[in-house]
Chains A and B, each alone.
Chain A
Amino acid sequence: MVENRFPPPELEISSAREAVAHWEHYPHEADMGVRGFGATKAEAFEQVALAMTAVISDPAAVEPRDRVTIECEAKDEELLLAEWLNSLVFEMATRRMLFSRFAIRLDGTRLSAQAWGEPTDVARHHPAVEVKGATLTTLRVARQDGGWMAQTIVDV
């Protein structure tokens, strides 16, 4: 199954979709929970990524000017969420970048994505913390209210 989600960012988001797509943090004693909601599973995955950026810095302050392509796969859709976030952690760490815009295409348990962002600028982004990795704790991908919800806890 191919989900219909791979527009270039400038074409992005109808208002109806905007109403559905959002992210939030949820508490964990030592670390941080990241949760995304979307009309599609891919959109929920994009929103979790945005929530992860928000653990570090204000996503609105991150300019989506450089593009990185990411591909990954896993045994099931939940492990795929962890894999996706961990791939992003790797790109953030090795490219020293932060990302604020994502476009994901899902094909079963394979994911291909483009992420837009810019090099980390300490003076402007004030990174609060570095994400070490996505954990499998409270990891969940599920249908919710006619859309999708995806969540896990990231270790910081």
Chain B
Amino acid sequence: MDTGLFTQRSEHEWEIPRHGAMRVPAVIFASASLIREMDQKVYEQAVNVATLPGIVKASYAMPDAHWGYGFPIGGVAAFDPDEGGVVSAGGVGFDISCGVRCLHTGLTRDEIMRAQKDLADMLYQRIPAGMGSTGTIHLDPVETDAMLGGGARWAVERGWGTAEDLERIEEHGQMHGALPGNVSERAKRRQRDEMGTLGSGNHYLEVQEVTAVYDAAIARSFGLKQGDIVVMIHCGSRGLGHQIGTEFLSRMAAAAATHGIQLADRELACAPINSDVGQEYLGAMRAAINCALANRQILTHLTRKLFAHFFAHAQLRLLYDVSHNTCKVEEHRVHGGLRKLYVHRKGATRAFGPGHPDVPEALRDAGQPVLIGGSMGTGSYVLAGTKESEALAFSSACHGAGRAMSRHQAFRTWHGRQVIDELAARGILIRSPSSRGVAEEAPGAYKDVSAVVDAAHAAGLARKVARVEPLICVKG
């Protein structure tokens, strides 16, 4: 995009002033070069979000923003129910509560490298990944509802994890206000065989090494140091979340007009928070958040079992678990007063700063860990929430590298085998059921994650703590 389209508020803050039907301005956080690379659609979509009823302060886009559905991916918007504010299925996305968790292993690079190939093969064998894969846990209707109400807490009660895990998950592992009864039979049916599966696309499980530490004090309180080995798991609410997203998107698209809401784009599909369909969606969406938390918890259990097989002394403690695609009720200070807002983050991470009561006590002085997944074979980052992020964008940060190239173009540019061989030559083992899938996810198809993270850091959205680089990547 042309940087001339914006009013530059600061080096990393670009404003689209209110015009036309916009109720508030739109603000994109990025470096000038990221803005220049960004799709024009991000501008249009950020503007469209700013037209929705009850939006507070501004429609925001994170440095990794790209063209999404209705809302840009990397979009953040908060709505006030007392001002006719809306909840939007398009503003949350299809993969509800898709997120990342990071586990310490206590192992060294040498230990991993000695077992690298066997460990990669075993992870690929035991972690169900890719289309058509099924989990080993099959839920009956009663257990499905228990899972949808209980989230990771439900999984821990079934023996798949520990009470300590729950302290390191947003909402203590259980999203309150979930209403399993609002989840359709079709959505539940889609989930029946998909618990404990990774999914496909950009979802992965990686074994990574900490290769750089930028903030020694915060890294210490996160328990990270140079050379540490961690496991990152990126996945979401699987078929259940996708089905809920699909159903409510079409219901909200049809219902918007009956609530007197003019949509600039059908995909902005939304309903007043204080409406039947709005409340129904919130109950179902929260159940999907629990599904994602339970799913990542089960995958953690499988990973632990597998690591125990290779390394008797390995203890995979959870550093933290973040969700990307959510709408959450949070208190934020706006123009001096505290207000209860419905914060949509679509491809954006909650990033509470130091001292926030929702950050686990052991991490509270440092701020909430923000886990940024990079593209396959490049690197990922651990950041920490900042105090100033609240005033900037309701305590939000980026979520990943963001695509720079369509799947279509990536598939024409690379061969999966060649990508796998090149990464293997650099010591990174990829395991995936699909060579085409690997080509479509080639590192070059993504933006430079470092540029995205540097922009988030420089903008003050979150603070850079450590960089991690993969040794093994299981892709769906």
Question: Residues on A close to B: CB < 8 A?
Answer: 25-32, 56, 74-75, 79, 82-83, 86, 89-90, 93-94, 96, 119-120, 122, 126-130, 132-137, 139, 153, 155-156
Q: Knowing A90-B186, A136-B266, say if A128 contacts B406 (CB, 8 Å).
A: no
Residue in B66, B242, B249, B403 whose Cβ sees the most chain A Cβ within 10 Å: B242
Is B434 an interface residue, CB under 8 A from the partner? yes
Find chain B residues with CB under 8 A from A31 CB: 407
Is B269 an interface residue, CB under 8 A from the partner? yes
Q: Give which listed residue, B239, B406, B436, contacts A93 with CB less than 8 A.
A: B239
Find chain B residues with CB under 8 A from A132 CB: 94-95, 201, 242, 245
Q: B132–A29 contact, CB under 8 A? A: no
Find chain A residues with CB under 8 A from B41 CB: 29
Q: A130–B406 contact, CB under 8 A? A: no
Q: A30–B190 contact, CB under 8 A? A: no
Q: A133–B434 contact, CB under 8 A? A: no
Extra pairs beyond A25-B408, A90-B243, A94-B190 (6, CB < 8 Å):
A75-B254, A90-B186, A94-B189, A133-B249, A136-B267, A155-B242
Complex Cα spacing A31 to B403, Å: 10
Question: Residues on B close to A: CB < 8 A?
Answer: 39, 41, 66-70, 73, 94-95, 130-134, 186, 189-190, 192, 194, 199-201, 239, 242-243, 245-246, 249-250, 253-254, 265-267, 269, 403, 405-409, 411, 433-437, 440, 476
Q: In the complex, what's the smallest C-beta–C-beta distance from B5 to chain A, in angstroms?
A: 18
6 A–B contacts from the bound complex (CB under 8 Å): A27-B408, A119-B132, A126-B436, A130-B200, A136-B249, A137-B69
Complex Cα spacing A130 to B190, Å: 13
Complex Cα spacing A136 to B133, Å: 27
Closest chain B residue, CB of each to CB of A82? B250
Find chain B residues with CB under 8 A from A137 CB: 69-70, 265, 267
Residue in A74, A86, A120 whose Cβ sees the most chain B Cβ within 10 Å: A86
Complex Cα spacing A44 to B476, Å: 31
Complex Cα spacing A129 to B436, Å: 9
Q: In the complex, what's the smallest C-beta–C-beta distance from B267 to chain A, in angstroms?
A: 5
Q: Give which listed residue, A56, A74, A126, contacts B435 with CB less than 8 A.
A: A126
Q: Give which listed residue, A75, A83, A130, contacts B201 with CB less than 8 A.
A: A130
Residue in B70, B245, B246, B403 whose Cβ sees the most chain A Cβ within 10 Å: B246
Q: In the complex, what's the smallest C-beta–C-beta distance from A81 to chain B, in angstroms?
A: 11
Residue in B69, B266, B403 whose Cβ sees the most chain A Cβ within 10 Å: B69
Residue in A120, A128, A130, A137 whose Cβ sees the most chain B Cβ within 10 Å: A128
Which 7 A-B pairs rank lowest in CB-CB distance, beginning with the nearest? A120-B132, A27-B406, A127-B131, A128-B436, A130-B131, A132-B242, A133-B246
Q: A28–B406 contact, CB under 8 A? A: yes
Complex Cα spacing A28 to B269, Å: 20
Complex Cα spacing A156 to B236, Å: 13
Q: A136–B434 contact, CB under 8 A? A: no
Q: In the complex, what's the smallest C-beta–C-beta distance from A73 to chain B, in angstroms?
A: 12
Residue in B245, B435, B437 whose Cβ sees the most chain A Cβ within 10 Å: B437
Find chain A residues with CB under 8 A from B132 CB: 96, 119-120, 122, 127
Complex Cα spacing A94 to B306, Å: 28
Q: B437–A127 contact, CB under 8 A? A: yes
Closest chain A residue, CB of each to CB of B134? A96
Complex Cα spacing A30 to B74, Å: 12
Q: Knowing A82-B250, A120-B132, A155-B69, say if A139 contacts B242 (CB, 8 Å).
A: no
Find chain A residues with CB under 8 A from B265 CB: 137
Q: B245–A133 contact, CB under 8 A? A: yes
Complex Cα spacing A133 to B245, Å: 8
Q: B254–A79 contact, CB under 8 A? A: yes
Find chain A residues with CB under 8 A from B249 CB: 133, 135-136
Find chain B residues with CB under 8 A from A74 CB: 250
Q: B94–A133 contact, CB under 8 A? A: yes
Residue in A30, A86, A135, A156 whose Cβ sees the most chain B Cβ within 10 Å: A30
Q: A133–B406 contact, CB under 8 A? A: no
Q: In the complex, what's the smallest C-beta–C-beta distance from A35 to chain B, in angstroms?
A: 12
Q: In the complex, what's the smallest C-beta–C-beta distance from B406 to chain A, in angstroms?
A: 4
Q: In the complex, what's the smallest C-beta–C-beta distance from B402 to chain A, in angstroms?
A: 8
Find chain A residues with CB under 8 A from B190 CB: 90, 93-94
Q: A32–B476 contact, CB under 8 A? A: no
Q: In the complex, what's the smallest C-beta–C-beta distance from A76 to chain B, in angstroms?
A: 9
Find chain B residues with CB under 8 A from A127 CB: 130-132, 200, 433-434, 437
Q: B403–A30 contact, CB under 8 A? A: yes
Q: In the complex, what's the smallest C-beta–C-beta distance from A63 to chain B, in angstroms?
A: 15
Complex Cα spacing A122 to B432, Å: 11
Find chain A residues with CB under 8 A from B440 CB: 128-129
Q: Knowing A28-B67, A129-B437, say if A156 contacts B254 (CB, 8 Å).
A: no
Find chain A residues with CB under 8 A from B269 CB: 136
Q: In the complex, what's the smallest C-beta–C-beta distance from B3 to chain A, in angstroms?
A: 19
Q: In the complex, what's the smallest C-beta–C-beta distance from B303 to chain A, in angstroms?
A: 21
Find chain B residues with CB under 8 A from A32 CB: 406-408
Q: B69–A135 contact, CB under 8 A? A: yes
Q: In the complex, what's the smallest C-beta–C-beta distance from B125 to chain A, in angstroms?
A: 12
Q: B409–A27 contact, CB under 8 A? A: yes
Find chain A residues with CB under 8 A from B254 CB: 75, 79
Q: A30–B200 contact, CB under 8 A? A: no
